[in-house]
Structure 1
Amino acid sequence: MEMKAGRSSSLRLLLLVSCCVCVAATYPFGPPLDLDVTPRVTVLSNSLWGCRRFSSSSAVNYSTMLLEADSQRLFIGARGAAFALDAADISASPALTIEWEASAEQKRQCLLKGKDNKTECFNHIRLLQRFNSTHLYMCGTHAFSPLCAYIDAETFVMSPPEEGRDKCPYSPTTGYTGLIVDQELFTASQYEFRSFPDIRRNSPTLKTEDAPTRWLNEANFVSSALVRESLSSGIAGDDDKIYFFFTEGGQEHGAASGGHSRVARVARICKGDRGGLLTLQKRWTSFLKARLTCSLPEYDFHFNMLRSVFVVPGDTPGDTLFYAIFGLGWKNIKASALCRFSLSDVQEAFRGPYMETQDSNWKEYSGKIPDPRPGTCITDTTRAKGVNASTSLPDDVLNFVRRHPLMSQQVRAFDRRPLLFRRTTDYTHMAVNTIQGLDGQEYHVLYMGTDEGWLHKAVHVNGQLHIIEELQLFEEPQPVDNVLISDRMLSVYVGSPSGVVQLPLFNCQRYTSCYDCIFARDPHCAWNGYHCADVMVYPDKSTLIQDIQKGNRGCDNTQVDVSTHSRSVRVGDDVLLQCELSSNLAAPLWTLDGQELHGYGLSSGFRTGTDGLLIIRARRDQSGLYTCYAVENQIQVAVVTYNVTVAPDLPFPPTKDPRRRFPALPLPTPSEGAAAPAPRMPHSKMLSAKSMEAVYLSLITILGSLCVVLTVVLFYVGFCLRVGTRGKYSLPTATAVYQGAKRNHRKQQRNSASLELKTISNNGHGVHNGISKLPNGNIRDGGFLQIVPGEAYPSPNTEINPPPPAPPLPAAPECNFANGLSAALPSVLRRMHGNSYVLLNQSDAERASPLCSTFADELNRILEKRKCTQLIPRPDESSV
C-alpha cells in the first residue's frame, strides 16, 4: 500500500510539473522586447489638461456615437436616451435630449423571458447614423423587442418607432455592426434569440445562407466599412464593397490543427448585390470570407479574438489600411496585439483558391471554377457576357457560391508581425488620426482605449509603435466603449458606461524643455526655440525642430536649466539625493565631480532607486558635486545637481547635565537631510547580523505571546466586570448574603432543614433586587440566598461597614441515585433563550423538599413549579 501511495503521489507531482511546463511554454514570455512598449508619460485623471465631460442622470452606457464635423455636432446613443452635443465643447450648453425608454409592460414581458432586469430589460441604442440630408436613423433593443425610428437632425425630434427586429439585435451585449450606405441599411449580428448570426440588408432584403453550408459559425461581429472601389479600383465598372470584421468558430484544417477554436475573419459583399433569381433567392451571391492572421510565427503564437478595427483610407482603394486590435481569448489573462492589414492583400485572398468541405473537413478546392468567377461583383467584363445583375448569374455559379464561402489563402499582417504587443493591457476600441510631419512623411497617430479607462496615444514609426502617453480618463476603472476623432475640432471623444470625455488631440504644453519635446516624438508638437508648439496651428513651420524617426536630434545647442541644491551632512549619516524623472523610458545616471559612479553595492557606499541616490554612512571623501542625468534615446540630460559637504565627526560640547554618564561621547546634533548617528558599540560576535536577527525574532515571538496573554486576561476581566456590574443578573449584596446565611444556620440547628432550588416568582412578598422584604421594608426573617434578574442596587438597611464573616454552613448530605451518581441535585434547572443557568433558593423549612428523592420526583416537582415561573423578556447573554 505504501508503494502504491508513493507511486500515485509521484504521478501527481509529475502531472503538476507537466502542466506548469505546458502553461509556461504556451504563454508568450519571449516575444521581442520592442513589441511590449512602455508608455513614455503617464498622466493621471486629476492632471488632464483641457478635459471636458458629459453625462446625464437619466442614462448610462454611452457606447454609440456619431460625429458630424460640418454641423459641429456629436450625437450620442445611450441606454434609454439619445443626445445631441456641441462638438466644440460637449459640456458648454444643455444637450438636446430624446428620452426613449421601454415601457413598464415591455419590461414585464422581458422579465417573463428570463432576462436580467438590471442590464437587459432596457432600451439600449445600438445604431445611430445619418440616413439622409435631413434625418438620422436610430435603433434600440427596447427590452428584447427591437424598435427603430427616424430623427429630425435639426430639431432632434424622434418620429413614431417602427419594427426593428431585422435591423437590431435583441441583446445589448450581442456583437453588432451597422452601416447606412445610400439610404440602404447593412447590418450584421445575431438578430433573434435562437437564430444564427447573419449579414443582412434591409431593402431589398438579403441574408446569408444556412444550408447546406452555413456561411457563418457563431460569428461575433466587431466592425464594418465601406470602400468605394467603383471610383479607382482599376477594374472597369467595378462595384463598391462592404467589408465585415468578426470572430467565429474555426472550420478549416489550419484552425483545427493549431488548436484555435476561434479565428478572426474578414467578409466581403458587393453593394449592388440583388441575390439570385431562383438559386440563392434573397441570399447574397457575392459573399466571401477569409481569415485574418496576426501572429508571431517564430514563437508559434497567434492572436485570434478580434476586438476593434479602424479603416484608414488611402489615395486609391488598394492603399486602404485596416488597423485591428486582437486579444488572446484566454480567461484571466490580459494581452493585446495590434496588426495592420492592406486592402490589396485582402483582395488578393479573395482571388485565391477556395475551400470546400468533405466529410465535415475543410480543404483547398482544386476542381474547375465556373465563369463568371463566383463571388465577384458585376463589372463591365460580366456585362459584356450578358450578365448585368446578380439575378442573371448562372445556376452553376450560384451553387458554387453556396458551397464555397471560405477562401484558402489567409490575409497576413502587412508587417508580417504585430506592431504592438502588451501583456498587461486589454485594448477595447481605437481610432487613427493621419498627420504630416515636418519631414514631409505622413504618420498615423493611434488612440487606443483600454478596459480600465485609460487612453494610449501612439505613433506608428517604421513598423513599430511608440506610445507617446497614457491618460487616465476616469478615477474608477471602466471600459472604453467608443473612440472618435475630429480634425476640425482637434479633439478626441471617448464613450464609456458613465459618460463621454472630450480631450484635445495633443497637449504640447506638457513638454517644458527642448529635449522633452523632441523625446516625445509627437507629430503634433515641435520646438520653436522657446517652448513646445502645436504644429497644426503654428504659422512658420520652418523654424520648428522635430525628430519623429529617432527622437534625439535638434537640441544640441539648447541650454538646459538645472536646479542646484546644497547639502551638509555629518560623517556616518545616510543621505538621499532625490531625482524625479518625468519619462518612464528614461534611466538615471549619477556623476560625482564629473565622473560617473560605477557599482552601487553595499561596499561602494551608494545605492540607486526610483527615488534617487542613497549615500550610506557618508565619508569625508564622498563630498563633492553630484549630478543626476536622465538617459533617453542615448542622450544624457542633466536634471538636478547637489553640492554635498560631509563634515568631520566633532566631539560634544561640555555640558553640566548630571544625567550624562559618558561626557566623552559626542552629542547627536541635527544635520540637514539625515538623522544624527548613534554612538557605535564595540564590535562583538554577539552583535553580528545573524545573531541580531535571531535576537529580533525571539523578541518578536515573546512580545507576540505577551500580547495574546494580555488580550485574553483583559477580555476575561472585562467579561467578569460586565457580568457583575452591568448585566441584568447580579448577586445580592454582601449584607443580604450574610444575614441569609446566619438565619439559615439557626434554622438548621432547630430543624432538619433542607436545601431547595426553585424559580423566583414575583408572587412572593416584596421580592425586590434579589432580597425578600416585608411590607415594612425590613428584611424577612426567613430570607434566602438567590440569583434573580435585576441590577444589584444596595439595600437601604445595608450597613456601611462590612459584617463579620458568617459561620460555616453545614455540608449537605449526599443522595444516592440509581445511576450511580452521588450529588445534591438542584430542584430547578431553567433554560431560557439558549442560555443555561441555575437559580439557587434556600427557603424556609416548611417549604423545603426532602433531602433525598428520586430523580423522577425531582423532575415532576420542577415541571410543577415551572408553571408559575415568570420569565424576564430578554435575559442577558452573559447571565449566570
Structure 2
Amino acid sequence: MNIRPSVCPLTLNIIKVRLPHWRMENHSLLYLIMALLGFLSPCLTRLIPRVSFPLGSPGRHLTHFSSHDVSNTTTLLLGKDGDMLYVGARDAVLELDVGHKDAIVLRNKLDWSPSEKDLEQCSMKGKKMADCPNFIRVLQFLNTTHIYACGTFAFSPRCTYINSETLLMSVKPEEGRGRCPYDPYQPSTAIIVDGELYTGTVADYRGNWPVISRHLSEGNRVDLKLDDTLGWLEDPTFISSSFIPHEEKIYFFFSEVGREYDFIDKFIVSRVSQVCMSDVGGQRTLQRRWTTFAKAQLLCQANNELPYNVIQDMDTLPPAEGASADETLFYGIFSSQWSVNSGRSAICSFRLTDIKSVFSGNYKFLNRDTLQWSTRVQEKIANPGKCGLHNASDNVLHFVKENFLADEIVRPVGRSLSMVSAEHSYSHLTVQRVQAASNRNYTVLFLLTESGYIHKAVLLQGGAHIIEEVQVFKQPQIIKSLKLSTSKGVIYVGTSEGVVRVPTANCSFYWTCPQCVLARDPFCGWDPASRACVKASDSQTSQDVDRGNVEEACNSVSLTKKARFAVICISGSCFAGELVSVSLNEVVRLQCPVVSRLSQQLWQRPNSRLSPDLYLHLEDGSLSFVATPTTLGHYLCVSTENDYQQTMAIYHVKQKSSPISETPTSYIPGTGLLQQTSVGIWGTQVTIRQLGRNLSLWTKESGEIKSGTQEGNPQVLARGPCYLTELMVVSVMLVLCLSLLTTILLYVIRQQCHRQTAPQLGTTTRNSNRSPLVEQEALRTDKCNIQALHSRQASGFVCNGVLIDSNGHLETHPYLK
C-alpha cells in the first residue's frame, strides 16, 4: 500500500458530525466544530504516487499536438472508431487524426470567428477583448453525418451544424441562447440523445438565469425548460450530464446553494437532478416546462469530518458485462468550501440504485411565504420525478411543481470515501473498469491535478493505490478536459496550449518481474516466456494487484546476503557494479537509483556496519563519507518495498594508484562473474573476478590465485604504494622555511647592534658648539642684512623666502594678518 499514516494521537471518533441533518440554532457551535476538525485534519493519511514522470521524461511516451494559430483546445469529441478527435478551440473547430502511434495530425480546420463589428460591440459592453472571440463550448454528434457545435461568439452565443466528413457548415449559424454560455469560462454541460440537445447552462448575458432545457425537439415534442419563477435552481454551477438508456432519463450533476439549511453563510451542496426524455410539459399547468424535474443532494463525507460538499467533476462507469443496469456507478471529485479542508480532494462513487431509491421516496415542501423547507407529512398525491406525468391533472402537476427536492440524501457506496488526497487538488477525472489476469475487475481512476499531473490510481479493498503520476503541462490552465478512449487505450487531455495523448498503460517501463508486480497495475503482468512486463491479456501473466506479493507472483524467495551481490539488470543492460577510484581523505558520494517513491533505501557493506560517525545518509538516498583505509571496499544499496528487498547499486571503492591504468568493471554474461583488467606496476596483467562475496586475483606471470575476504577487498599482490615523491617535496619545503626564518633572525640582530653603536647628539654645551646648521643660518642672515644696506633704493627683495621692503622691514604676509 502507498498509504503512509500521519502520526496523530487524536482520533476522529471524538465527535460525530452529521452536518446535513442539523438545524443550526446556535451558529457559534458550527464554527467551533469546524475549528476542531481543522486541528484533526492533519490525521489524514497521505497518498503518494509510486512513480513520477516529469514532462518530457523518456520513461513515459506522450504525444503532443499544438499550433501557433490554435489555442484553447479544451472541448473534445472522440469519433466512433477512435481514430478521429474533434476539438473545439478558439475561433475554430479542428479534426485531428489520432490513428498514428507517434503523431497527432491536423486533417482539417474550420475557422469560425466573430466579425470586427461583433468584437467591437463585445468590447463596448465592458468585456475584455481576450474573452470576446468565439470559444467553442458545445461539440456533440447529432447523427452519423453531422456535428452540432455552439460557441460563445463575442458574448452572443451561436450554434451551427457541421459536416463531420468535410468539416463545413451545413447551415447558417443560429442563436444559441440557453444552449451555450455567454462567458467562455462559465461552467456548463450539454449532451445530445436521439438528436435532441439537453443542456445545463445560463441563459442571460450576466449569468444570473440558470436553466436546464431541451432543444432541437423532434416530432410533436416541444422544447422544455425550468420555470425560472419557482426557484428550482439556486445559483448552480453545472458540472456534467449523463444519459441512462434503460431509464430513458438524463441526469445532471451540479452544485448550488442549499436553501434547506438555515446557516449564517451560504452552504453549498452537490446535487443530482433528473428529467425524462418522454416529457412534453403540462397541458395547462407547467406548459413548456418540465413535469419530471427532481433533484437530490449528493453527500461525499467521511463519518467524522466535514463534508466535501462542492462537486468538481463527475464521470459515469457503466455496469460490468452481465450485471444489472442499476449497478451503474457515478464517480465524482469533491472539495470543501471550508478553509479547514482547502487543498484537499475526495473521490466518492454513487450507485444508480441508491439515486433511484431517493427519488422514489419522500420530498420536501417549500413554504412560499416563509421560504422554509419542511418534510411533507400529508398524503403523497404523486411521485415527483416519475415519467409520464404530462397527462396528469392540474392538482398532480401542482403537487409536483411544489415538491421537487427529495427528502433523503444520496450517500456514497459503502458510506465511505473511495479516495481522499491531502496534498493534491483534482479538477477532472475519467474512470475505467479493467479486467486483470485473474479475470477480476478493478476500477482505475485517471485524475487531473491543478498542477498539471495525471494520477493513475487503482481502488483496492485496503484503499486507493496511486500507480504513477504523469506531467502533461507546466503552465496553469484555466479550462481543461479529459477524454478516455477505451478501445485505443489512451487518454486525451485538452488544455489552452494543445492536446496531449497519454497511454493508459506503461508496462514496458518495468524491466523485472518484481518491478512489474510491485507496480500493482491491473493493465500489466509479467510474461515468463518473453521475460517482459506486458499487458495482462491472459492468466499466463504473473500479477498481484491486491497485495503486490513478489515472492508468490515471481516464484522467488527472500534475498540472502550472498544473492544481494548478484548482477543488476536495468532495461536489458546488466551491470556488476561500478568501480570508484578515490584518493585518501577525499569525500565520496555514492548514488542509489530510486525506482519507487514508496521504497526505502538502505546502504550495506559485507560483514561491516555503517557507523553514523563515518557515514552520512542524504535525503536523496545517496551515501557520503570520507575515503580512508577503513571505508574502502564494497557498498551496495538495497531497496525495500512491500517487504521485498532488491539490490539497486553496487560500488567498489578503491584507492587511486597512479602507475596503474584501470578499466571499468565488466560483466561476463551467463557466469555471474565480475571481471576487471588492469596493468600492474611491473607490467603484470591482473584480473579480478568476483562471485558472490568471494574475490580472487590471478596473475599471468605466476598463474597463482590468491583470495581476500577482509571487507570484501582482495589482497594486493603488487608492491604497496610508494611515498618517496611526497617525502622529497615535504623535505624541500621544510629546508626553505628554515632558511627563511634564519635570514629574518640575522637581520633583526644586525639592526639592534647598529643602534647601540650610533653617536649620541644633543649633549654639547651652549657656548662650545653651535650646530653647523645654526651657523649657516646665521651667515645667511648677515649676508641679507649687508645686501639691504647697499640696496636701499630698491623697492624690496626676497631674502631667505621673506619679502623685505626698501626700509629693511619685513612686509606683512596675508596669512599673518
- TM-score scaled by length of structure 2: 0.70
Does the 8 A contact of 1:574 with 1:614 survive in 2?
no
Does the 8 A contact of 1:525 with 1:532 survive in 2?
no
Please state if 1:311 is matched with 2:316: yes
* Percent of residue pairs identical: 34
Q: What is residue 588 of structure 1 aligned with on the other side?
A: 601
The structural deviation recorded for 1:151 is 0.8
TM-superposition CA deviations, 1:438-471 (whole Å, max 9, x none): 1111112221112222111111222632111111
Corresponding residue to 1:103 among 112, 115, 138: 115
- Equivalent-residue separation in structure 2 for 1:468 and 1:639 (angstroms): 20
TM-superposition CA deviations, 1:336-395 (whole Å, max 9, x none): 111111111111111222112342332322221104x232113xxxxxxxxxxx331122
The structural deviation recorded for 1:291 is 0.9
- Equivalent-residue separation in structure 2 for 1:808 and 1:131 (angstroms): 117
Does the 8 A contact of 1:188 with 1:200 survive in 2?
yes
TM-superposition CA deviations, 1:84-127 (whole Å, max 9, x none): 11131394543210000111111111111111111x21111111
Q: Which runs of 5+ in 2 are unaligned?
A: 1-30, 558-562, 569-575, 656-712, 714-719, 738-810
Please state if 1:465 is matched with 2:464: yes
TM-superposition CA deviations, 1:805-831 (whole Å, max 9, x none): xx99979x9xxxxxxxxxxxxxxxxxx
Q: How does 1:476-487 map to 2 (within 5 A)?
A: 476-478=475-477, 481-487=480-486
- Tell me the secondary structure at the aligned position of residue 519 of structure 1: helix
Please state if 1:377 is matched with 2:387: yes
Please state if 1:611 is matched with 2:620: yes
- Tell me the secondary structure at the aligned position of residue 408 of structure 2: coil
Q: What is residue 765 of structure 1 aligned with on the other side?
A: none
Amino acid at match of 2:446: Y
Q: What is residue 256 of structure 1 aligned with on the other side?
A: 263
Please state if 1:146 is matched with 2:157: yes
- Tell me the secondary structure at the aligned position of residue 575 of structure 1: strand
The structural deviation recorded for 1:644 is 4.5
Does the 8 A contact of 1:107 with 1:122 survive in 2?
yes
The structural deviation recorded for 1:217 is 0.2
The structural deviation recorded for 1:145 is 0.8
- Equivalent-residue separation in structure 1 for 2:43 and 2:387 (angstroms): 41
Amino acid at match of 1:355: K
Amino acid at match of 1:415: G
Please state if 1:188 is matched with 2:200: yes
Please state if 1:337 is matched with 2:346: yes
Amino acid at match of 1:605: L
Moved more, 125-134 or 85-94: 85-94
Corresponding residue to 1:654 among 727, 733, 740: 727
Q: What is residue 210 of structure 2 aligned with on the other side?
A: 197
- Tell me the secondary structure at the aligned position of residue 107 of structure 1: helix
Amino acid at match of 1:661: L
- Tell me the secondary structure at the aligned position of residue 639 of structure 1: strand
As a proportion of its length, which structure holds more strand?
2
Q: What is residue 694 of structure 2 aligned with on the other side?
A: none
- Tell me the secondary structure at the aligned position of residue 523 of structure 1: coil
Cα pair distance change 1:155/1:144, threshold 3 Å: same
- Equivalent-residue separation in structure 1 for 2:256 and 2:195 (angstroms): 29
The structural deviation recorded for 1:38 is 0.7
- Tell me the secondary structure at the aligned position of residue 72 of structure 2: strand
Moved more, 608-617 or 305-314: 608-617
TM-align CA RMSD? 3.2
The structural deviation recorded for 1:643 is 3.7
Cα pair distance change 1:428/1:574, threshold 3 Å: same
- Tell me the secondary structure at the aligned position of residue 446 of structure 2: strand
- Equivalent-residue separation in structure 2 for 1:267 and 1:487 (angstroms): 28
The structural deviation recorded for 1:623 is 5.2
Q: What is residue 535 of structure 1 aligned with on the other side?
A: 535
The structural deviation recorded for 1:333 is 4.2
- Equivalent-residue separation in structure 1 for 2:33 and 2:591 (angstroms): 43
- Equivalent-residue separation in structure 1 for 2:652 and 2:621 (angstroms): 15
The structural deviation recorded for 1:62 is 1.0
Please state if 1:274 is matched with 2:271: no
Cα pair distance change 1:463/1:79, threshold 3 Å: farther
Corresponding residue to 2:307 among 294, 302, 306: 302
Does the 8 A contact of 1:245 with 1:266 survive in 2?
yes
Cα pair distance change 1:649/1:250, threshold 3 Å: farther
- Tell me the secondary structure at the aligned position of residue 233 of structure 2: coil
Q: What is residue 207 of structure 1 aligned with on the other side?
A: 225
Aligned residues: 617
- Tell me the secondary structure at the aligned position of residue 61 of structure 1: coil
Does the 8 A contact of 1:335 with 1:421 survive in 2?
yes
Cα pair distance change 1:810/1:415, threshold 3 Å: farther
- Equivalent-residue separation in structure 1 for 2:455 and 2:556 (angstroms): 32
Cα pair distance change 1:408/1:579, threshold 3 Å: same
Please state if 1:324 is matched with 2:332: yes
Amino acid at match of 1:121: C
Moved more, 453-462 or 329-338: 329-338
- Equivalent-residue separation in structure 2 for 1:508 and 1:223 (angstroms): 32
TM-superposition CA deviations, 1:53-100 (whole Å, max 9, x none): 222333311111110232621110011000111131394543210000
Q: What is residue 183 of structure 2 aligned with on the other side?
A: 171
The structural deviation recorded for 1:419 is 2.2
Does the 8 A contact of 2:511 with 2:533 survive in 1?
no
- Tell me the secondary structure at the aligned position of residue 408 of structure 1: strand
Q: What is residue 365 of structure 1 aligned with on the other side?
A: 376
The structural deviation recorded for 1:219 is 0.3
The structural deviation recorded for 1:615 is 5.2
- Equivalent-residue separation in structure 2 for 1:642 and 1:20 (angstroms): 58
Amino acid at match of 1:86: D
Please state if 1:418 is matched with 2:424: no
TM-superposition CA deviations, 1:498-533 (whole Å, max 9, x none): 101112221211111111111111111111135433
The structural deviation recorded for 1:26 is 2.2
TM-superposition CA deviations, 1:752-794 (whole Å, max 9, x none): xxxxxxxxxxxxxxxxxxxxxxxxxxxxxxxxxxxxxxxxxxx
- Equivalent-residue separation in structure 2 for 1:152 and 1:512 (angstroms): 47
Amino acid at match of 1:94: L
Q: Which runs of 5+ in 1 are unaligned?
A: 1-18, 231-239, 379-389, 665-806, 814-880
- Equivalent-residue separation in structure 2 for 1:63 and 1:88 (angstroms): 20
- Equivalent-residue separation in structure 2 for 1:28 and 1:84 (angstroms): 50
Cα pair distance change 1:569/1:86, threshold 3 Å: closer
Q: What is residue 734 of structure 1 aligned with on the other side?
A: none
Cα pair distance change 1:296/1:542, threshold 3 Å: closer
TM-superposition CA deviations, 1:725-756 (whole Å, max 9, x none): xxxxxxxxxxxxxxxxxxxxxxxxxxxxxxxx
Q: How does 1:26-45 map to 2 (within 5 A)?
A: 26=38, 29-33=41-45, 36-45=46-55
The structural deviation recorded for 1:488 is 2.4
